[in-house]
Structure formats: structure tokens, C-alpha cells
Amino acid sequence: MNIDSQFSGDADRSDTRPILIIPYMWIGDFVRNHTVVRVLKERWPNRPVDLLTTSLCAPLVDYMPGVRKGIVWDLPRGRLAVGSQLALAKLLRERNYGTALVLPRTWKAAIAPALAGIPERVGFVGEFRFGLLNHWRWGERKLPRFIDKNAALAQPDGAPLPPEWPVPQLRVPTEEVARWRQANGLSARPAVALAPGSVGVSKRWTYYPEAARLLVERGLEVWVVGGPAEKGLAQEIVAAGGPDVRDLTGNDLRNGVLAMAAAGVAISNDSGLMHIAAALGTPTMGIFGPTSPYLWAPLNGLAATVVQNKSVLACQPCQSTICRMNDHRCMRDIAARDVVEIARDVLTRTQANV
């Protein structure tokens, strides 16, 4: 069965009022938010959908089918910023939104839609948002996964969860990838993209330098992808792998999107770049230690889910950002040679299907 068809039976084509989504702004969560867009477009095919976004996540909007535009607004973390909220509310009021989906449970996330007077403001009960939201949803804590909590808001109230959600999609034009390759002086050889960063040190696999060296020995080009925080890691990986390893880390997330789109396979920690690569359709290997693949792996599926299998660790998955027991064995026991062999197998299978 076409997954989309399960959402289209009650499609209302007469409603044309724009919809605003207030998403979570972490990169991986922002990518997964595209499932919410797809559910909304099946339910209301003729209602434009906009996303509130930070400057960091804004490039992702350009590659999301079904999104009309991104509203770029960097609200500061940790404080209310009344003036910024008022200015955002004024902008939203001018856009005449009929519905706002407020995905985060925070009080602050619901302020601007309420001040803008958006008629229908949908969200889960949380942080005493009475008066800010007017279409309450209950039972968030009973929903098993992050995507279930978010995408359920795009369905009618009380609707059962579907067997499968539509997967997030990022579509990059082939010619844009070609221009990016040329601008960065990259060859047409098969390349493996490494994403060594993550939010929380416990999710970081530490053998990327050794993996880069082994990949180069097997005739592959290696790209290190990430943000400014990964610059030091990238330099270590380049030093280990030599001239066939390129440091492609930088400030612009668009560069990371294009690198993942161009790569033959991506190897990533549980991070935003893992979700980007999977949504692009790039064969993606996700390395998991403290986090659960069931809860946090991309809906798109992975070419390989890499976890340690040498022993049973009672603490795994701990969902903690810092390892407090077992000396990080959940990641330390994943050998670089094993990861490289899986990557070679993924590339071989991918090239055989071209």
C-alpha cells in the first residue's frame, strides 16, 4: 500500500488557509518535522505550509517538498525576549495563518502564534499554556516515539496512529550537487562521508581517524562533514587518513546537505547529519551506543544500524549525553575495521543497483 494513501482519504481540498508549523529546532528534529508537513499536505492539499526556522536550519527548508517558505527568526534561548516575540507576532499576523501547530511543549514556543491571533493553535498540554493554545491535545506521554508525538498533531484529534508515517524527504537537484563538487575540487570517485559530531559526547564514536585510514587504503575518498565544532575532529581525521581525506566542515549547513547528497555512503553518529543523509536517500550507516535506534533512527531506514554486539550492557541504552559507567563500552567496542567492511559492502550493493 502507498503510505501516503492512508492519510488522503479525508482530504479537504476546499480549505486554502495557510498553516504555520513551530518545530523543534535541533537539526535532526527539524528534518523529521518533514513527516508532519507530508501528513498536513495529504489532509489539506491546498493549504500552504510554512515553517518557523532558525538561521542554522533555514537551508533545509529549500530542499523540503511541500513547504512554501521558511520564516527565519532566531529567538534567543533561555530568556523570553519580549520585543522579539512581539516583532515575530506582527510578522505572523501579516501572513494570515489559519492554523499553527506548536510542536514543542514549551510556553515560549506558543507566545508569538497567540499574540498574532492565529485562529487555531494546536499543541499538547504543557508548561501551563492555557490561553496561548486553543486546541488542546492530551496523551503525549503515552505516544512511544518523538515522531508519533509530532505527527499526531497533524491528524484529527483522537485519530489512531498509522502503521507507518510518511518518511522525511530532502530533494537536492542533481545540477546543484555537480556545481558543489566542482566548486570544492572533488573528483568523481566514490566517496564516504563521515559525520563525527553529535550533541552529547557519549554519542560520539571515537575511531573515525582509524576508519578514514582504512577507507583510503581501500581506494575510497573520504569527506569529513560537520559544523565549526567538528573542526578539531576533522583535522585529526585528515591527519590519520592523508591527502585523500577532505575537511568539509564549516558554518553553512547547506554545505553539509550537499556533501551528504553527493556521497556514496554516509557514516554518522546519532546526529542531525544522519537524519539529513537518510532523508536525501544516501545509503546511511548510523552508529548507536547510548541511544535507542527504535526511538531515534531515521524513519527512512538505514543501510546499516551499527551497535556493539560483544556483550550485553545493562546500561544500554541510557539516553545520557555523558557516559557514567562501563567506560563508554557501548561505543568503544565497535571496531573501526568492522565499520569499514560494512561501508564497503553497502557501497558494493549500491553500485550494483545503479
Residues 205 and 346 grouped into a single domain? yes
Length in residues, the chain: 354
C-alpha cell at 10: 479525508
Is 159 part of any domain?
Answer: no
Q: How high is the pLDDT of residue 199? A: 85
CATH of the domain at 69: 3.40.50.2000
Instruction: Give tens-digit pLDDT for 81-98.
Output: 899 999 999 999 999 999
Q: For the chain, report the end-to-end CA distance as a whole number of angstroms.
A: 25
Instruction: Give tens-digit pLDDT for 113-135.
Output: 999 999 999 999 877 787 899 99
* SS3 state of residue 226: coil
Rounded to whole angstroms, the Cα distance separating 288 from 297 reads 9
Rounded to whole angstroms, the Cα distance separating 338 from 331 reads 13
Instruction: Give tens-digit pLDDT for 287-345.
Output: 998 888 888 899 998 999 999 876 677 777 777 777 677 677 788 889 999 999 999 99
The whole-model pTM stands at 0.93
State the virtual CA torsion across 330, 331, 332, 336 in degrees, nearest 10.
130
Range of the domain at 241: 176-352
Express as a percent the part of the chain with pLDDT over 70.
95
Residues 216 and 278 grouped into a single domain? yes
Is 293 part of any domain?
Answer: yes
Residues 112 and 226 grouped into a single domain? no
* SS3 state of residue 326: helix
